[in-house]
Chains A and B, each alone.
Chain A
Amino acid sequence: MVDLSALRRPPIIAASPMLRLQPPAARHILRAAPAVLEAAGEALGLSLSMPVCRASIAATRAALWLGPDERLLLGEASSAIETARRLQQALQQQPHSLVDVSHRQVAFAITGPQAATVLAAGCPLDLDPGAFPVGMCTRTVLAKAEIVLWRRADDGFHLEVWRSFAAYVSGVLAEAARDLADT
C-alpha cells in the first residue's frame, strides 16, 4: 500500500486557546455481539464489556461505548494495521464488522474551567459532572454536526468529529469561547 501520510494535511480550524487539534490517531469501529466483543477485548488487552456510555483505557489504547454492539477503538496512529491484524486473528470465525475510520475523523481536546460551558453552547446534553462524569462518552450532536464526546477530566473533553465538519465545529466552539471571554 502506498503511504500517503506525508501528503496529508490537517484540516483548517478556528483558533481558540481552549481548543487543540489532536495528532492523527488510529480509529476503528467494531460491531459485534457481547461475547465476540469480549474476545476482541482480550486480543487488544483492554475491556470492551464496559457499562453503557463509558470508555475503557489501557496503555495507549482506548475503547468508547457507542452502542450495545458498537465500540470506537482509539490508538496511536502507527497502530492501525496492528489493531486490525490482532482482531482479524482473534475473531476469524466470529461474525463481526471492523472498519478503519482513522481518516474519517479528527479529534479536538477542549480544556479549561469553562470547557463544559463552551460545549453547552451547541450540545444539548447535561454536562454537569453529576450527569456526565469523567469517563463517560457518547455520540451526540453539537450545533448541526454529529460528534462523539468523551469526558477525560472535570475540565477536559475529547471530541471526535468527521473531518469535513472540523472547521464548522471548531468555529462554533471558538465563537462560544470568545463570547464567554467577553462577558
Chain B
Amino acid sequence: MLLISCPYCGARPELEFTHAGQAHLARAREPAAVGAQDWADFLYMRDNTRGVHAERWRHTHGCGRFFNALRDTTSDHFVATYRVGEPPPQGAA
C-alpha cells in the first residue's frame, strides 16, 4: 500500500488520507475588488500539471490536519509533505 508521510504523524497508509485539491491558492482579501474574470479563474481554473504538483491533503482518519504535498502526477510518488503555512521544501521539485 502507498504510504503518505503526514507532517504530524509520520508515514501512514494512503487509506487514511483525502485529497483536497491544488495547494497555495490565496483568496483575495477583498473579493469585491477582484474583476469577474480573475474571480472566475480563482474559483474554477486549476493547473493540470504533468509532473510535480503542489496539493492539499487531509489526514482525515488520523490527526485530521490539512497539509501540503508535492506529488508527481505521472508516478504518484510523494516528493515531499509539509505543514500549511510553510514554503515548499527547496530543491524538492
Specify which chain B residues have a CB less than 8 angstroms from the CB of A139 in the assembled complex: 61-64
Judge whether A124 and B61 touch: CB under 8 Å: no
Judge whether A52 and B64 touch: CB under 8 Å: no
Known: A67-B8, A140-B16. A124 touches B62 (CB 8 A): no
> How many interface residues does chain A have, given as a range?
10 to 19
Specify which chain A residues have a CB less than 8 angstroms from the CB of B9 in the assembled complex: 52-53, 138
Specify which chain B residues have a CB less than 8 angstroms from the CB of A67 in the assembled complex: 8, 62-65
Q: Dominant SS at the A interface?
A: strand
Alpha-carbon separation in the docked complex, A125 to B65 (Å): 18
User: Within residues 44 to 65 of chain B, which ones have a CB less than 8 A from any CB in chain A?
Assistant: 61-65
Asked if A68 is at the interface (CB within 8 A of a chain B CB), the reply is yes
Judge whether A138 and B62 touch: CB under 8 Å: yes
Judge whether B8 and A68 touch: CB under 8 Å: yes
**Chain B, residue nearest A70 (CB):** B64
Specify which chain B residues have a CB less than 8 angstroms from the CB of A141 in the assembled complex: 15-16, 61
Specify which chain A residues have a CB less than 8 angstroms from the CB of B16 in the assembled complex: 124, 140-141
Alpha-carbon separation in the docked complex, A66 to B62 (Å): 7
Asked if A146 is at the interface (CB within 8 A of a chain B CB), the reply is yes
Q: What's the minimum C-beta distance from B12 to chain A, rounded to whole angstroms?
A: 7
Contact of A146 among B10, B13, B61, B65 (CB under 8 A): B61
Alpha-carbon separation in the docked complex, A124 to B13 (Å): 6
**Chain A, residue nearest B59 (CB):** A67
Judge whether A140 and B8 touch: CB under 8 Å: no
Q: What's the minimum C-beta distance from A179 to chain B, rounded to whole angstroms?
A: 21
Binary interface encoding of chain B residues 62-93 relative to chain A, with 1 for a CB under 8 A from any of its CBs, else 0: 11110000000000000000000000000000
Judge whether B63 and A68 touch: CB under 8 Å: yes
Specify which chain B residues have a CB less than 8 angstroms from the CB of A52 in the assembled complex: 8-10
Alpha-carbon separation in the docked complex, A139 to B60 (Å): 9
Known: A68-B8, A124-B13. A140 touches B64 (CB 8 A): no
Which residues of B pack against A, CB within 8 Å? 1, 8-10, 12-13, 15-16, 61-65
- Given contacts A67-B8, A124-B1, A140-B16, 20 further A-B pairs with CB under 8 A are A52-B8, A52-B10, A53-B9, A66-B64, A67-B62, A67-B63, A67-B65, A68-B65, A70-B63, A124-B15, A124-B16, A125-B12, A125-B13, A138-B9, A138-B62, A139-B61, A139-B62, A140-B12, A141-B16, A141-B61
Provide a sorted-by-A list of 20 A–B residue pairs whose CB atoms are within 8 angstroms. Answer: A52-B9, A66-B63, A66-B64, A67-B63, A67-B64, A68-B63, A68-B65, A70-B63, A124-B1, A124-B13, A124-B16, A125-B12, A125-B13, A138-B9, A138-B62, A139-B62, A139-B63, A140-B12, A140-B61, A141-B16
